[in-house]
Structure 1
Amino acid sequence: MKKLILFLFVLTPIFGFSQLKVISGDFKNLKGISRYNVVFDYKDLQVHGFETEEAYLKEKMEKREKKEGEAQKFKENWYSDRENKYEPKFIEYINKRFENGEITASKNGDAKFTMNIKTIWIYPGYNVGAGKEPAKISAVITIFETANPQNILLIVDFKRSIGLEPGTFDFDQGYRIAGAYEKLAKNMAMQLKRFL
């Protein structure tokens, strides 16, 4: 029995299971909702192994100071990857998963209900030739009435969504992290499908 538990413990990071916890509300409250406005919140996010996001950026930029422009480029990409890579991956996966349009998601839309993706924690992963590990994220998803944000239908916490394999782009940190947002979308879509 102990060997089986150890085996499952080892497999968990490989297959990318994330822990889901409903904090408030119920997925049943979402039945009948077909359109979502999606917003993303990165305020006060933690980067694995660092006290603050700023401390992470400082260390990574210092390592790149020898190559002209590389430090600033790293910082710019850290922020621009959110809109250019992470967010599209999440939204595209939700829409792809519901290919018949049972549920659609869009950024800056006018849907009656909003899905807020609050990123709590990021592990950027790595690929250094000799070894690699996918990115992981933890996020809280809150669904509320757009015109009345106090009317919250659901708050759910997803711990450590492990990125889907990004393939040839896994040397790029932004694509690795985008894979974790895609996995978050997959986990959320699985729950939504249960209540269609």
Structure 2
Amino acid sequence: MKKLIIVFSFISGAAFAQDINVLQGDFAFLKDQKEVNVEFDYSNFTMMKENKPEAQYVEEHKADLDKKAKGNGNIWEKKWIAAKDMIWTPKFLEIANIVLTKEKKDLNFQEKLNTPYTLIVSTVWIYPGWDAGIMKQPAKVTTNLKFVETANKSNVLLEISSIDAPGDQWGNNFSNESRIGEGYAKTAKTLSKLIAKKAYK
């Protein structure tokens, strides 16, 4: 039985592997930077396999929750809106900086900094996953990561596509918003490891 579990875990991990690609530019400009400003753009992403606009997903999910208990849809919507500032953004920044510190790189990501360069994290697509106790499926988060000149944001120095970053935790996690947050954490971890490898040659 143990062998079967190991094999299943391997297959499951492979099925939800993150795909990260450098679309343009290089990492050289980051070598001498101590801080990079970060902006998060949640304004235009789709969801689920059907690529529903976020607004459509929210209305449909609210309706489903209200069928089970009236008023729960509005309660959930407040949590969903808050998750962007309270879970997803902090998770990205926290893990990005932890990884860079572990890699002994003197670079820090924060919001609202006055720095030469800005990282724009644009959410492209989200799949919230699910957790039914015995069985579960990780969330998946696709983002566009664009490093630009702060004073001239049309000047793109580096652009990276992160596709299907998996969001999961040990044990059970019944919160869609929290699982999605782990997808942002995975995105940040992969990005910081890439920077540590490529920017400090």
TM-score between the two structures when normalised by the length of structure 2 = 0.85
Q: What CA distance in whole angstroms lies between the structure 2 residues aligned with 1:28 and 1:101?
A: 14
Note if contact 1:169-1:176 (Cα within 8 Å) is conserved in structure 2: no
1:33 is displaced (CA, Å) by 2.2
AA partner of residue 25 (structure 1): G
Which whole-Å deviations, capped at 9, do the CAs of 1:64-83 have from their partners, x for residues lacking one?
A: 11423210111121111010
> Who is 1:56 aligned against?
57
User: How many residue pairs were aligned?
Assistant: 187
Match of 1:4 in 2: none
Retained in 1: the 8 A contact 2:105–2:196? no
The one of 150, 153, 156 equivalent to 1:149 is 153
**Of the candidates 174, 177, 186, which is equivalent to residue 174 of structure 1?**
177
Cα deviations across residues 107-143 of structure 1 (Å, max 9, x unaligned)? 1122221111000000101111231111110100000
Query: Are residue 160 (structure 1) and residue 133 (structure 2) matched?
Result: no
Q: Residue by residue, what CA displacement relative to the aligned partner does 1:145-195 show, whole Å, maximum 9, x if unpaired?
A: 1112122110110111112x3335611111100000000001101110012
Distance 1:88 1:169 in 2: 21
Would you say the 8 A contact 1:29–1:154 is kept in 2? no
Look up the equivalent residue of 1:41 and give its one-letter code.
Answer: D
Please give the secondary structure, in 2, of the residue aligned with 1:65. Answer: helix
- The C-alpha deviation readout for 1:34-53, integer Å capped at 9, x for no partner, is 21111111122010134322
Report the TM-score, using the length of structure 1 for normalisation: 0.87
**How many angstroms does 1:28 deviate by?**
3.0
Cα contact 1:166–1:175 (8 A) shared by 2: no
Quick one: distance in 1 between partners of 2:20 and 2:35? 22
Q: Percent identity?
A: 26
Contact persistence 2:20–2:162 (CA under 8 A): yes
CA distance in 1, matches of 2:127, 2:160: 20
SS class of match (1:130): coil
- Quote the RMSD (CA, aligned, Å): 2.0
Partner deviation per Cα, 1:74-94 (whole Å, 9 max, x = no partner) = 112111101000000000011
CA pair 11-105 structure 1, distance change in 2 beyond 3 A: closer
Matches within 5 A, 1:1-196: 11-13=13-15, 16-50=16-50, 51-66=52-67, 67-99=69-101, 100=104, 102-163=106-167, 165-167=168-170, 170-194=173-197, 195-196=199-200
What displacement does 1:101 show? 5.8
Structure 2: segments with no counterpart, 5+ residues: 1-9
Structure 1, unpaired ranges of 5+: 1-7
